[in-house]
Amino acid sequence: MRNTLFCLFILISTFTYAQNNNAPSSYDPHDIKITGYLQTQFQVAQSPGISSWSGGDFSENSSSRFMLRRGRLKVDRVDKFSSVVFQLDGTQDGVRIMDAFIQFHSPENKSLKLTAGLFNRPFGYSIVYSSGHRDFPERARVFQTIMPRERDLGAMVSYKPNKIVPFITAELAIVNGSGLSAKDYDSNKDIIGNLSFDFDSLANSKLKLGFGASIYKGTVRSNTTTYLKPIENGFDAITNAANENHNFRRDYYGANLQLEYANSFGNTTFKTEYVWGTQPGVAASANISGFAASQSFGSQPAGNLYLRNFNGYFFWFTQQIASSKLTAIVGYDVYDPNIDITETEIGRPSNNTTAGDIKFSTLGYGLTYALNGRLKLTVYNEHVSNGNTMLTDYQNDVKDNVFTTRLQYRW
């Protein structure tokens, strides 16, 4: 009985760590271990050449495609004092590094860990949650915008006092701020703080509850003498020689909640996350899409900065059907890159607004089927909506819905 309980504990621990990208496959000492997953999918878009957060933009004359969404190969090793993680992502676009970090801890007390290298930004819930375990095909639009590819280079301190209050995790990181595949383009560093609470054995072990809060304090360097300040129904251009080389604030605040309940019909989960703050961006143009105009920069932005106040959130609901291998999934997310203006004012002459200020919402629904412990099939349909504006290409809802069929194998 004791051996059975011990093995169960190890399996639960391994599963928990596998869901967090900032951890090896297990913290039990082991030599080289290789894990990973492959996601291959077929997608159909509502019209050719659409911009999309569902695996990237479609080619100009294409409204359907086969693609490798993710091909992850993770290698890790753990000893008495430290662990190392190295993860690659291989798709039709090539091979690139996703994670490369070293963690240190005391052999007597693993509550305190130091991580250095390339790792997931410890902000909120969905950023660090593995795409190999997530029920939904992609993260919400707001997180793909403000933290593209999720990772950054830096150092992080994590504290989880297992012997005192094991349900608390605190993280503090300092990062370049330029993301996964870029060196820092200025001298300033960004600070990320995260505090989370996890209760796994409520209501006779039927209910799991998690919640937390995060903060991101960063900057973006201005390369010009002009920046655009938000005012009522638009932007005001502020020109001053001192604006060049000035570092404008890039600040995010977030809160998240997760509920999971094991009932007679099957597991039910509800997850939500809300984030708001200030995001320096640029104007949409012939060379920069509306999606990219408010996205975080991996290199020095050349144009004038637009200081946008934004918010975004998602709701994810899943319901296992009759305790079977079939699960229904429903998701809804919203990203508003400019909360200081209504859609009907975007594109009005002389207010300096562009497609980078348009609010989008996405309603998705579908099914997952776990063929076995490693193989999962997902079918998912997304209805993407935007408000009507005065801009030529956005006077009506853009036809940019996407249907996805995905097959995933995890080892």
Measuring CA to CA, which residue among 304, 287, 290 is closest to residue 335? 290
| Contact criterion met (CB below 8 Å) for 208 and 260 | yes
Which amino acid makes up residue 39?
A: Q
| Contact criterion met (CB below 8 Å) for 289 and 306 | no
| Contact criterion met (CB below 8 Å) for 396 and 408 | no
Q: b/e per residue, 254-276, with b = 16+ CB within 10 A? A: bbbebbbebeeebeebebbbbbb
Which conformational region is residue 56 in: left (phi greater than 0), alpha (psi within -120 to 50 degrees), or beta?
left
pLDDT score, position 181: 75
Place of tokens 């975007």: 346
pLDDT score, position 8: 36
Q: Distance between CA atoms of 124 and 140, rounded to whole angstroms?
A: 12
Q: pTM (2 decimals)?
A: 0.92
Per-residue pLDDT of the chain (411 residues; tens, 9 = 90+): 444 333 433 333 334 444 788 999 999 999 999 999 999 999 999 999 999 999 999 999 999 999 999 999 999 999 999 999 999 999 999 999 999 999 999 887 789 999 999 999 999 999 999 999 999 999 999 999 999 999 999 999 999 998 889 999 999 999 999 998 778 889 999 999 999 999 998 988 899 999 999 999 999 999 999 999 999 899 999 999 999 999 999 999 999 999 999 999 999 999 999 999 999 999 999 899 999 999 999 999 999 999 999 999 999 999 999 999 999 999 999 999 999 999 999 999 999 999 999 999 999 999 999 999 999 999 999 999 999 999 999 999 999 999 999 999 999
| Contact criterion met (CB below 8 Å) for 82 and 105 | yes
Which amino acid makes up residue 59?
A: S
Rounded to the nearest angstrom, the gap between the alpha carbon of residue 164 and the centroid of all alpha carbons in its chain is 31
Q: Distance between CA atoms of 321 and 306, rounded to whole angstroms?
A: 47
Q: Distance between CA atoms of 168 and 202, rounded to whole angstroms?
A: 15
Measuring CA to CA, which residue among 316, 334, 317, 330 is closest to residue 276? 334
Neighbours of 164 (CB within 10 A): 8
The CA-to-CA distance between both ends of the chain, in Å, stands at 28
Q: Distance between CA atoms of 295 and 356, rounded to whole angstroms?
A: 9
Q: Over the chain, what HEC string results?
A: CHHHHHHHHHHHHHHHHHCECCCCCCCCCEEEEEEEEEEEEEEEECCCCCCCCCCCCCCCCCCEEEEEEEEEEEEEEECCCEEEEEEEEEECCEEEEEEEEEEEECCCCCCEEEEEEEEECCCCCCCCECCCCCCCCCCCHHHHHHCCCCEEEEEEEEECCCCCCCCEEEEEEEECCCCCCCCCCCCCCEEEEEEEEEEEEECCCCEEEEEEEEEEEEEEECCCCEEEEEECCEEEEEECHHHCCCEEEEEEEEEEEEEEEEECCEEEEEEEEEEEEEEEECCCCCCCCHHHHCCCCCCCCCCCEEEEEEEEEEEEEEEECCCCCEEEEEEEEEEECCCCCCHHHCCCCCCCCCHHHCCEEEEEEEEEEECCCCEEEEEEEEEEEECCCCCHHHCCCCCCCEEEEEEEEEC
How crowded is the C-beta side of 262, counted as CA atoms within 13 Å?
9
Measuring CA to CA, which residue among 354, 246, 361, 231 is closest to residue 293? 354
Q: Distance between CA atoms of 103 and 117, rounded to whole angstroms?
A: 9
